[in-house]
A = this chain, B = another copy of it.
């Protein structure tokens, strides 16, 4: 099968953007312009056995995650949620369907209460397949316009909002807090050039940002914050590998001017921002380890082969 990256590129070429759609396929969300105000739309489908495992995760946590990953996409666009649309396919093999659906909605309701958006529609089905859920969220920008991943400029500093790696095995992917408040604060206090959430791993997602921006980047391996969720018994290289490629971190990756980066890096309130690299003019994405620069392939760190010398 072609990679998701190729599929997205094909679809992008195949479906030209028409009237009233400002941004189509290729960012964390789409930007529609129905009238004087933009509407941002994000969507994610989550599947049992792929994005969660109902044999260990409660329906409540699964419902929560399905909404939270979409909230993270909105945060990455500098937006606040307005409405959610929930479609579910519930296995006929689940005995207590009503209880299952109710628990699922408990997890979603907690987030809709916290961030004050409306669950405004959806579709409920039963079938003989495993559990599947699709969430579509609409949002509006917290500042003048949504923040795209395409605005990074050479000389910008790349920062992340938290430590990376180990999200799936630790269960962090089920309980993480979507950075809506932080995103809002950032846009009120900083000129954010580009932003996205780290869902597939810093390595792949950084490539997406610089490709969209028409730039390159140098990532500083020594600066990448490694989550305590990453097994501390592993070697330093292995731990770094997990931090860069595990995915489902849902931290934000931002590109800001060097001046703004300096200011952000010096503070811990309301949040500590970590400087992980910089945006460059060339299209290369390089990893800096000590004084050594190596190419970071587009398909991510996980496909790199390690030489003994590293």
Write the residues of chain A forming the contact surface with B, with a CB cutoff of 8 angstroms: 1-2, 4, 7-8, 11, 14-21, 23-25, 29-30, 32, 34-39, 41-45, 47-50, 82-83, 85, 87-89, 97-98, 101, 105, 109, 112, 116-130, 132, 134, 136, 138, 140
Given A21-B118, A34-B34, A138-B39, CB of A11 within 8 Å of CB of B85: no
Give every chain B residue within 8 A of A124 (Cβ-Cβ): 4, 7-8
Instruction: Name the B residues within 8 Å of A49 (CB-CB).
Output: 127-129
| Ranked 7 nearest A-B pairs via Cβ | A35-B37, A134-B134, A45-B87, A30-B120, A136-B136, A15-B119, A1-B97
In the assembled complex, how far is the CB of residue A279 from the closest CB belonging to chain B, in whole angstroms? 25
Q: Looking at the complex, which one of B1, B4, B15, B44 makes contact with A87 (CB distance below 8 Å)?
A: B44
Are B134 and A45 in touch, CB under 8 angstroms?
yes
> Provided the pairs A82-B34, A83-B32 are in contact, do residues A136 and B7 lie with their beta carbons within 8 angstroms?
no
Complex contact B15–A109 (CB within 8 A): yes
Number of copies: 2
Q: Is B29's CB under 8 angstroms from A39's CB?
A: no
Q: Check B140–A20 contact: CB distance below 8 A.
A: yes
Further contacts, 11 of them, CB under 8 A, given A11-B119, A19-B116, A23-B120:
A7-B124, A15-B118, A18-B82, A21-B118, A30-B83, A32-B82, A34-B38, A41-B83, A42-B121, A50-B125, A129-B132
Q: Which of B39, B126, B127 contacts A32 (CB 8 A)?
A: B39
Which residues of the partner chain B approach A24 to less than 8 Å between Cβ atoms? 83, 118-121
Knowing A130-B127, A140-B34 are in contact, say whether A120-B83 is a contact too (CB < 8 A): no
Bound Cα distance A119, B18 (Å): 9
Which single residue of chain B is at the shortest CB-CB distance from A131? B129
Cα distance, A101 to B4, chains bound together (Å): 12
